[in-house]
Structure 1
């Protein structure tokens, strides 16, 4: 659920790879959809003054999946490297009980710890919607849209 009026948005592996794989300006699109600016991890942790906007979070399991994918090389490896950099620089990384990335995101959704999940993974999207949490996904060439449960 949102914390103190700020929207919490969980990003999965496919979302963090969108900038390279699909030429999506991920954080610009999230700002367009959700309004306001993204909160930095420092603002989220209380190390800097709080601002309005959304808080981008990602489970540790997603970082692990991105690390494994980055070792493959090629375009997918490059996209995973960029995604991992985005996650560590622009997201609050959280621990979950689940070690598998999709399960970690569903856990966050079911426990009410996020307001939205960003993914292009259809099976994950369906699981998140079943948990009654809206999903943000690619619609069209490079725009994101919200699907309500």
Structure 2
């Protein structure tokens, strides 16, 4: 009789794969969402999840707790940014919340990418995109008016 229950701690995929099975647990790519990506439906008229579907087919979306905290702070303000952050926070419910040791959102996203816990980071933040690419992970970002594209490291 075999035990199909997951062991405590992250479940690793075969060596050199770079991904943990702990987030996705399957063969679809895992993408981490930044606040700028989650706010893009309001700020850039982007249909975020439809574009990810078009670009990737199947995928699993995750959002670090630090990004959720950033959105929470932004939506407490006034104006268009607060509205975009409120929509972003609602959209974040469609992704799995993940914990990291980092309290700053950009650092959390780079750490997930560098550790191979995600296959790509979705962001419209130029400096963050450069950091993710330096961590040898792809970036999915806005190209053109309202289309996403992948930039490889």
TM-score range, shorter chain: 0.7 to 0.9
1:75-114 maps to which residues of 2 (within 5 A)?
75-88=80-93, 90-114=94-118
Considering fraction of residues, name the structure with more helix.
1
> How much does 1:6 deviate?
1.2
Counterpart for residue 140 of structure 1: 144
> TM (normalized to structure 1)?
0.86
Q: Which structure 1 residue ranges, 4+ long, deviate > 3 Å from structure 2?
A: none
Larger Rg: 2
> How much does 1:22 deviate?
0.6
Q: Secondary structure at the match of 2:41?
A: helix
C-alpha distance 131-3 of structure 1, shift in aligned 2 (>3 A): farther
**Aligned alpha-carbon RMSD (Å):** 0.8
Q: Secondary structure at the match of 2:142?
A: strand
> How much does 1:4 deviate?
2.2
Q: Secondary structure at the match of 1:10?
A: strand
CA distance, structure 2, for counterparts of residue 85 and residue 12 of structure 1? 14
> TM (normalized to structure 2)?
0.84
> Would you say 1:67 and 2:72 are equivalent positions?
yes
CA distance, structure 1, for counterparts of residue 118 and residue 131 of structure 2? 14
Task: Name the structure, 1 or 2, with higher relative contact order (CA <8 Å, separation 6+).
Answer: 1
Unaligned runs of 5+ in 1: 36-52
Unaligned runs of 5+ in 2: 1-18
